[in-house]
Amino acid sequence: MQLNMVIEDLQWEAELPPLYRVRQPELPSPLADIAGRVRAELDRLGIAPRVAGKQIALTAGSRGIHDIAAVLRAAVEYLRGAGATPFVVPAMGTHGGATAAGQVTMLAELGLSEARVGCPIRSSMETVEVGQTEMGIACHMDRNAHEADAVLVIGRVKPHTDFHGYIESGLAKMITIGLGKRRGAETVHASGPQGLRELVPAIAKVVVGTGKILCGLAILEDAADHTADVVALTADEIGGAGEHALLGRAKQLIGRLPFEQLDVLVVDEIGKNISGCGMDTNVIGRMRIPGESDDNPPRISIIVALDISKESHGNAAGIGLADITTARLASKIDFNATYINGLISGLGGVQRIALPPVLPSERAALAAAMHCCAQPERAALRLARIKNTLQTREFCVSAALLDECRSLGLELLGEAEWGFEQA
């Protein structure tokens, strides 16, 4: 890609403010015995007697779930111990370039190899139509999963980044879009956030009604991106009251920035492994979807995205949530993967793949942000810097936020370096 849009002459002379590292209060201890919890939850639902002699597909998505390998392996070992033959299917809609090989590669980048999970991985973009909703919407299911005797749906339950509703991101979405592959993703996203709000539970209900869904394993993560709990849901609880109750728990656990307003937020990296839209909208307080509210804290004047994660494979979905970016990030964008993801996401994706102004260096991007944020007094500049929106327990702030951090009970860890050339 030729970065002809980089403005090399338009640079402001600005000294970057000192940074101070702070840490939010300690969280409850994460779940210690993940495998034990998986076994106990599957036993609670009486799964073992139901799977002997059967082929069971397990879902693996594209999100950076901290302990997904441990959960998958524990479920595989449980099923095999009960006499079943388990295998994993990638359940990630259009991610991985919407190809079977690309989705296997994405799983490998997340640490999900056949050796790691302990069973074969069968990847295909082919689907089978398994029914229609009451509104006549076709419901699709991954062919490999459909040909199994049953599917154990595994995924993280958390607030969605495109909308808020009764059911958001979780097991129903894994069934509808993940197992629905490209067709499922296109069908749901074509109607925008309202489609997600209404079609995800409706399509999941149809798929559950086929009898193909064995049960679900819902992963809840805390603000430090560690596993807080693993909960088994019956098939009928997926997309219903059981999953809704877990969403309520997840909203209490999610990591957040503890400020109502910021002039500048610096995000070191965006990526699909971090959030479906590169940056978690629940952390940055903006969605940039017509019809969906952006009036959520923190209210941030300027967001600067410095880089893209290696695990994202150039998929820069969500770059449009930033106001300024760098030549380093722009040079890594795979526009094919980004546009497939964004355009298939419809209203929830098209604005988020729009490339913001590209500046030639991190230093230039920060200087531009400070110039444009409508805070001319440098001593009053409310600036925070995070690694990414998954890691928010420790972060850096400017001096103007120190008193507020103390009043909020944050621990001051000392001064921090910007880590790149100041000039």
- Decide if 412 contacts 19 (C-beta within 8 A): no
- For residue 112, the number of C-alpha atoms closer than 13 Å in the C-beta half-sphere is 34
Q: pLDDT for 328-365, tens place per residue?
A: 999 999 999 999 888 877 777 888 999 999 999 999 99
Query: Residue 9's pLDDT is what?
Result: 56
Q: pLDDT for 58-80, tens place per residue?
A: 999 987 788 999 999 999 999 99
- Distance (Å, rounded) from C-alpha 103 to C-alpha 112? 11
Of residues 325 and 252, the one with the higher pLDDT is 325
Q: What's the whole-number mean pLDDT along residues 402-412? A: 96
Query: Residue 55's pLDDT is what?
Result: 98
> Which residue's entry shows tokens 């600036």?
383
Of the options 3.40.50.720, 3.40.50.300, 3.40.50.11440, 3.30.70.330, the CATH number for the domain spanning 34-253: 3.40.50.11440
Q: In the chain, what percentage of residues exceed pLDDT 70?
A: 96
Q: What's the whole-number mean pLDDT along residues 393-415? A: 96
Query: Residue 62's pLDDT is what?
Result: 81
Is 421's pLDDT higher than 70? Answer: no
Residue from 263, 339, 336, 335 nearest 303 by CA: 263
- For residue 348, the number of C-alpha atoms closer than 13 Å in the C-beta half-sphere is 25
User: In what order do the strands lie in the sheet containing 358-359?
Assistant: 358-359, 324-326, 299-305, 261-267, 383-386, 394-397, 19-23, 411-416
Is 217's pLDDT higher than 80? Answer: yes
- Decide if 280 contacts 391 (C-beta within 8 A): no
Q: pLDDT for 127-173, tens place per residue?
A: 999 999 999 999 999 999 999 999 999 999 998 877 888 999 999 99
Query: Would you kindly state where each structural domain of the chain is located, as residue ranges?
Result: 19-24+258-416, 34-253
Is 10's pLDDT higher than 60? Answer: no
Query: Residue 63's pLDDT is what?
Result: 77
Query: Residue 40's pLDDT is what?
Result: 98
- Decide if 268 contacts 311 (C-beta within 8 A): no
- Distance (Å, rounded) from C-alpha 283 to C-alpha 255? 7
The band of 105, judged by pLDDT with boundaries at 50, 70 and 90, is very high
Q: What's the whole-number mean pLDDT along residues 233-245? A: 97
Is 285's pLDDT higher than 60? Answer: yes
Query: Residue 346's pLDDT is what?
Result: 77
Is 7's pLDDT higher than 70? Answer: no
Is 1's pLDDT higher than 60? Answer: no
